[in-house]
Amino acid sequence: MPESVELNKTLKILVCDDDPMVRLLARECIEAEGMLVLEAEDGLEAISAYKEHQPDLIFLDVDMPELDGLQACEQIRALPHGDSVPILIATGAEDSETIDAGFRVGATQYKTKPINWTLLGRDIRYMLKSAHAFNELKAQESRLRYLAYFDHLTDLPNRRSFVERLRKCLIDSSTQKTAVGLILIGLDNFKRVNEAIGHERGDDLLHLVADRLQTVVASLGPLASDYPGAEKHFDSSTFSMEISRLGGDEFSVIVRNPRDENHILEITECLRDKLSQPLLLNELSLVVTPSIGIAIAPQHGTAPEAILRHADAAVSAAKLEGRNRIRVFDASLEESAERDFLIEDGLRQSLEKDGFYLVYQPQVNALTGKLVGFEVLLRWRQPDHQEISPAIFIPVAERTGLITQIGDWIFRQVHGDLTGLTDVLPPEVRFSVNLSPLQFTQSNFITQLGHSLRHNELPFQMGLELTEGVIMQSGVQSLEKLFELRALGFKLAIDDFGTGYSSLSYLRQFPIDTLKIDRSFVNDIGSPDGDALIKAILGMSQAMGLETVAEGVETAAQAHFLRDNGCHVLQGFLLSRPCLLSDISNVAKMPFLTLFDNDPSAP
């Protein structure tokens, strides 16, 4: 190898084979493609060469002395950056057993002997192009995960990250028989302060609060940082704390493995004292006091939803008691539990009588203005005509299991509604129904749904929307169910994409047709991080050949940005609010394209 060649300016291919003739032929073919060849006679030399030169691709013969190609492949994959280098193995013709073994230890591709040398250089170049494209997608995924898990204003973990970490802490505490404390912090009268100093300086103030919070917590004990992309992971059995910004003026501190309740109170009192001290903002001295609520697992619950709800109730109580207070959750704050009981009872009665109805929110192609679909949404009206928000009754229905009966009602009602629309809408219009986690995980769900479809053929294309967490719950079983749903004719969408796993791996594995971009990301359009996140999602979905639908589009500016960046199906109040069945014919006649030129958010 000439010493004058600079390895970092050309592609390096490591050829490992104990036959010098094979190495010679490989060199001739690869160098003809303008690439540099490194040589190794066996697996041990290949590992050494990989460590020294970090080649861009490795050609490994399987049958070699000392250390064979499969063993070398497995060891290289375990080395730094070894998980991303393409590895091409060469084996005997039609040796399917060895080929399968090669893929198990991490081979990227294989060639059978005798090798067609005239094609080797070209094949290697195509492998390198594919590897480069995939690595770019992985880098985009990493950026997407960071933007999805961290708050762009404070750089603290956001609500999504908080819920995931709280769930993990509660699982660990249950296994280890230890406690977890949740300290929830709400800033007092922050809305008034924000209005007085302006939203921009209000954001600066939140940044200062976040910085102080991190400083104070770090002075009280170790800060855990085992979030996606974190460099350091903490022992789940030791004392540590985790900070998050939940949104607005809400912050949280998870306390892992405190000594006792007094330990949590000591931490909380220190936080209140330090956060109540003046903050200097552009020569303004501002005091923003905190109201703090505490919930402790397991005595106040073992599920993330329960602990968060109880801590939130404690914050509300602290504010009612005069603000700048600390309140630990107790039984007197159980009003929400009583409310849930009343909601559950009302849901049961509505299933027996007449309380539920459906509305339909249009989805529109932003390029053509054509109506392409509707999302089916459930509404609940009580006997006294009071409308109850889905945000209130759906969680209760999920917790009590009533969601399965409600889901069955929705499918029956959708069928009845759609049969009357065949003269109004073309058959390619899609109606999408949300699936709850409980419905999807039912063992007989697919059978019941298939039976219903066989007896009630639907006149329009149907879609099902599932959250990321739902399909990731049971791996192989979820995959099988998704393929069965696809076989029944459903189009499958990931709802609220980016708020869960957001992983390339499951998008490649599962038969997904559509990604629905969560409205929280659409709301952030116009900020650098918000724009970057949307572009990352769209870039990834385009690379995977997936359709995208943006939810919560409320302004023409949002519509233009999404359309210009490749998201062509939009849904939101800019286009239409959810409408009753009787209004669908009017919605079908709407000139949607004209709405993009009228921004309702403009002054």
Lowest mean pLDDT among 217-226, 523-532, 565-574: 217-226
User: Where is mean pLDDT largest: 122-131, 185-194, 571-580?
Assistant: 571-580
- Mean pLDDT throughout 414-438? 87
Cα R_g (the chain), whole angstroms: 29
- Where residue 475 falls (left for φ over 0; alpha for ψ -120 to 50; beta otherwise) is left
User: Model confidence at 7, in pLDDT bands (50, 70, 90)?
Assistant: very low
Whether the CB-CB separation of 344 and 400 falls below 8 Å is answered with yes
Q: How confident is the model at residue 364 (pLDDT cuts 50, 70, 90)?
A: very high
Where does the pLDDT of residue 506 fall: very low under 50, low under 70, confident under 90, or very high at 90 and above? low
**pTM (2 d.p.):** 0.51
Question: How many Cβ atoms from other residues are within 10 Å of residue 191's Cβ?
Answer: 12
The dihedral over CA atoms of 324, 330, 335, 338, expressed in degrees to the nearest 10, equals 160
Phi, psi of 220 (to 5 degrees): -100, -15
Which H or E run contains 549?
strand 547-550
Cα dihedral sign for 333, 336, 341, 346? positive
From residue 208, alpha-carbon distances to 205, 277, 546 in Å are 5, 12, 41
Q: Which tens digit of pLDDT belongs to each residue from 302-354?
A: 999 999 989 988 998 888 788 899 999 988 787 665 777 788 889 999 988 88
Give the pLDDT band (50/70/90) at residue 231: very low
Residue 457 is predicted with a pLDDT of 67
Asked if pLDDT for residue 438 goes beyond 60, the answer is: yes
Q: Mean pLDDT, to the nearest integer, of 504-531? A: 84
State percent of the chain over pLDDT 90.
45
Query: What's the pLDDT score for residue 237?
Result: 76
Q: What is the dihedral of CA 480, 483, 488, 494, to 10 degrees?
A: 110
Question: Tell me, what DSSP letter sits at residue 96?
Answer: H
- Strands 371-381 and 430-434 come out as parallel
Residue 310's contacts (CB-CB under 8 Å, 6 or more residues apart) are: 293, 295, 300, 301, 329, 333
- Mean pLDDT value across the chain: 86
Q: What is the dihedral of CA 363, 365, 369, 373, to 10 degrees?
A: -30
What sign does the dihedral 45-50-56-58 (CA atoms) show? positive
Stretch 505-530: mean pLDDT: 85
User: Beta partners for 90?
Assistant: 61, 111
Say how far apart CA 334 and CA 357 lie, in whole Å. 30
Arithmetic mean of pLDDT, 27-41:
92
Does 548 score more than 90 pLDDT? yes
Report the pLDDT value the prediction gives residue 191, as an integer from 0 to 100.
76
The answer, yes or no, to whether residue 50 has pLDDT greater than 60, is: yes
| Structure-model confidence comparison of residues 534 and 385, the more confident one | 534
Provide DSSP, 192-246: HHHHHH-HHHHHHHHHHHHHHHHHHHHHHSPBP--STT-S----TTS-EEEEEEE
pLDDT recorded at residue 551? 93
> What number is the average pLDDT over the span 233-248?
83
pLDDT at 565 over 90: yes
